[in-house]
Structure 1
Amino acid sequence: MSSRSTRLRFALVALAVAVAGLAAAGPAAAAAPRTTAQPATVARTAAIPVDFVDLTTSPLPADAKGHKVTVTYRNDSAAPLTVAPQLLVESPHAGPFPAPSDLTVECRTAAGCWEPVELGTRTGTLFTDLSTAQRTPAPGATLTETYHVTVTTPGAQGTLHPRVALYA
């Protein structure tokens, strides 16, 4: 594992701890989560992820067109499992770091509409929030989140890195 990857994991775990603390702080942070098209119950935990399932990365398409990114996870365990799909936009090693204003990210709702997703940023990486994305798919169920990513700033660079956070 590279030192950049290790730093990124450490930064994201630290951020997850901070976000979990904020989620317990007030009603604004407890807004209703998105509903997915796949059967899954919504999890409300303040836990931090114990692991991540990294999915196939791809270059950030900087062509001002919308691109679909799908995050899929199958619960192969014998019990319900809390997971959270996440989309990262990692910056090039030498910069420039993308900013949340460089792209728009939307997530498809169960009704088929696109809902805007706000991006956080830390150490040159943009990310979707884990606390609002937590779901608990039943044993054997597949959870799928579909994102629509559009680069709005010409020349923005990076890598799309979908993944799934796993909770104990």
Structure 2
Amino acid sequence: MPTKNSRLRVALLTVAVAVAGLALAGPAAAATPQTATTASTAQQTPAIPVDFVDLATSPLAADGETHEVTLTYRNDSTTDRTVAPQLLVESPDAGPFLDPSDIEVERRTAGGCWEPVDLGTQTGTLFTDLSTAQRTLRAGETLTEVYRLTATDPAAQGTVHPRVALFD
């Protein structure tokens, strides 16, 4: 199990660095309005997680049914904290590796509707994007995020791993 954990941590660090680089050079950076103050200073580096809170994992159910996964995290500190919920779907250690087309992921919006979620993939792990999920959680507030997963490939195998990225 330590090998899988190490592989996952290395993959996630690689993804975080790649996302940070893309965010600096991508369209979002170009579309950011520049003021006289920010134009004369160096661009700020995008936030990179300092820690993760791992939540209970479960096997990926490849039964064609829709299954809900709820991520809950309470900011027990006395200060505001930037957090981002993330859903990982990990392939078996011995493969076969999952492909984003093997599962469908949706997220419940604040209005109660479901919206599709794009998945990234790295070293056999599918993941939701951290950069678009970041939010400030006030001291004492609780974050609850609900996802729906449907395995579209009946042969898909893996582990559903919800977690919360902590920034600051």
Q: What's the TM-score once normalised by structure 1's chain length?
A: 0.87
The equivalent of 1:51 in structure 2 is 51
**One-letter amino acid of the structure 1 residue matched with residue 116 of structure 2:** P
The equivalent of 2:42 in structure 1 is none
Cα 1:113–1:101 change in 2 (3 A) is same
SS of the aligned residue for 1:115 comes to strand
The equivalent of 2:124 in structure 1 is 124
Structure 1 window deviating more from structure 2 (45-54 vs 101-110): it is: 45-54
The equivalent of 1:138 in structure 2 is 138
Q: What's the TM-score once normalised by structure 2's chain length?
A: 0.87
Structure 1 stretches lacking a partner, 5+ long: 32-44
Q: In 2, distance between residues paired with 1:151 and 1:29?
A: 34
The equivalent of 1:11 in structure 2 is 11
**One-letter amino acid of the structure 1 residue matched with residue 120 of structure 2:** G
Aligned-residue sequence identity (percent) comes to 72
Structure 2 stretches lacking a partner, 5+ long: 32-44
Determine whether 1:81 maps to 2:81.
yes
Cα 1:111–1:22 change in 2 (3 A) is same
The equivalent of 1:25 in structure 2 is 25
The structure number with the bigger radius of gyration is 2
The equivalent of 1:107 in structure 2 is 107
The equivalent of 1:164 in structure 2 is 164
Q: In 2, distance between residues paired with 1:147 and 1:70?
A: 6
More helix by share: 2
Offset of residue 91 of structure 1: 0.7
Q: Deviations over 1:44-94 (max 9, x none)?
A: x71211111000000001110110001111000111001111000011111
